[in-house]
Structure 1
Amino acid sequence: MFYPGKPVMEVGSADFPNACSAMNSPLAKSLYAIDGITRVFFGADFVTVTKSEEATWDFLKPEIFAAIMDFYSLGKPLFLETNAAAAMDTAIHEDDSETIAMIKELLETRIRPAVQDDGGDIEYRGFDEETGIVKLKMQGACSGCPSSSVTLKSGIENMLMHYVPEVKGVEQELDDEEEQSTLTGQME
């Protein structure tokens, strides 16, 4: 986790799981230009960078710091298009049921801050009222890390089930490209 000393994201977070996804962010794009970077994530006041196994932090840290400082000294926008603002996944809408409103409130006030402390974030993807399953997506340093499923099951699931009796479980939802890399990893 790198702290530039300035706010990074005004609202929410942004996850760049690959260089392709970083094209609309000058900062993420410059970080991916550093050899050995495999993932970039923006939080409220931090940038999380994930490296390949071969790369060493001794080499990467000064490069990453330089890229972050250069970005902020140039005063460029974080995103090239204004509609690329973070998803307001936990904003409570008029048509949300009381159960969904409670889930979103817990995610925003209790769970998200704890996950962000570890350099990641969590995104609400939905709640199935029939099965009682909450769908979430882990992001940043928490995405793809072996302990993310433990965090999801023990910490998040237990808290949601405790405060919201309608919740029967929590499942992680993966994007198509993450599912492909998971399947590819299992086949090797």
Structure 2
Amino acid sequence: MLSLLRSAARPLPPLRPLSLPGSRSLFIQTSSTPNPHSLKFLPGRPVYTTPDDSGFYAAATDFNALTQSPLARRLVRATDAVGGVYLGSDFVTVTKAADASWDALRPVVFSEIMEWYASGEEAVAEGQVSDTTILEDDDEVVQMIKELLEVRIRPAVQEDGGDIKLVGFDEPEGIVKVRLEGSCVGCPSSSVTLKSGVENMLMHYIPEVKGVVAVEQGEEGEEVFPDHDYSEVKVEKEGGKPKQSYEEKLKQAGIPFSD
């Protein structure tokens, strides 16, 4: 998640060739993430592509998510050392158990990814609705939140092998609830990035947003960083000025508007 705060790219280790039955060799790279328990695997070909690059996350204990993803299911079933799997457009982030060794787990992940490509299965079953899909009943503020998450915030977070999903917006309180996924789960820098990156950007472009909190998987009301005090967040009111339209706010944020 540090990619929101810096743009320096980390060098990748040498390529690892793996032979695919009936196909050319598959070259998988690995890249470290800010979370020592998460590793990013880059096979050099598409993994899970969606129009909004939203990605897909499945914890080892999330039965519903695992039933939707043949690839995540393979990785979790292969070993008890896998705690979660995040699928990006061209990478797979695996989060291991704290006591597991990457030396032992890495070959297992390589093998399962190789077998998945050979199987011809989809990474995730079709028909999934993204968290940033703009729905008919979304109001203007929610649309803007989704647009900023998709266009500005998500790409930076995904560079480090993680993702951030919109859980909901508490309109009376002005609090955006998000869920951290992939390498962001348990990452020491997550709380800093949440406040200095995500929260600052959303509050800057959307006056209705007063703060951002992260919630656990399946626990929409539970804050991951409860020590952050949102009660004293200062809200700048538009005071007498005409309220900006959705299109005007997108233009201000440098985001092309499209119906």
When the two structures are superposed, what TM-score results if normalisation uses the length of structure 1?
Answer: 0.84
Q: 1:25 aligns with which of 49, 69, 74?
A: 69
- 2:95, 2:183 within 8 Å by CA — same for their partners in 1? yes
Structure 1 position 20, deviation (Å): 4.8
Q: 2:58 aligns with which of 16, 31, 56?
A: 16
Name the SS of the counterpart of 1:2 in structure 2: strand
Structure with the higher helix share, 1 or 2 = 1
Structure 1 position 107, deviation (Å): 0.5
Cα distance in 1 between the residues matched to 2:199 and 2:221 = 22
Residues 113-146 of structure 1, C-alpha deviation per residue, up to 9 Å, x if partnerless?
0111111111112222221111111111112323
1:151 paired residue number: 193
Cα distance in 1 between the residues matched to 2:71 and 2:83 = 14
Q: 1:52 aligns with which of 58, 80, 97?
A: 97
Structure 1 position 30, deviation (Å): 1.9
Cα distance in 1 between the residues matched to 2:220 and 2:167 = 15
The percent identity for this pair of structures is: 53
- 2:174, 2:209 within 8 Å by CA — same for their partners in 1? yes
In the comparison of the two structures, how many residue pairs are matched? 178
Structure 1 position 177, deviation (Å): 6.7
Cα distance in 2 between the residues matched to 1:35 and 1:124 = 29
1:185 paired residue number: none
Structure 1 position 29, deviation (Å): 2.0
Cα distance in 1 between the residues matched to 2:84 and 2:75 = 9
When residues 3 and 178 of structure 1 are mapped into structure 2, their CA distance, relative to the original with a 3 A threshold, is farther
When the two structures are superposed, what TM-score results if normalisation uses the length of structure 2?
Answer: 0.62
Cα distance in 1 between the residues matched to 2:220 and 2:47 = 25
Structure 1 position 55, deviation (Å): 1.9
Residue 26 of structure 1 aligns to which amino acid in structure 2?
Answer: P
Cα distance in 1 between the residues matched to 2:98 and 2:217 = 23
Cα distance in 1 between the residues matched to 2:206 and 2:68 = 38
Name the SS of the counterpart of 2:208 in structure 1: coil
Map 1:134-145 → 2, pairs under 5 A? 134-145=176-187
Structure 1 position 18, deviation (Å): 1.1
Residues 33-69 of structure 1, C-alpha deviation per residue, up to 9 Å, x if partnerless?
1342111111111100011222222222222111101
Q: Which runs of 5+ in 1 are unaligned?
A: 183-188
- 1:19, 1:29 within 8 Å by CA — same for their partners in 2? no
When residues 166 and 44 of structure 1 are mapped into structure 2, their CA distance, relative to the original with a 3 A threshold, is same
1:2 paired residue number: 41
When residues 179 and 102 of structure 1 are mapped into structure 2, their CA distance, relative to the original with a 3 A threshold, is closer
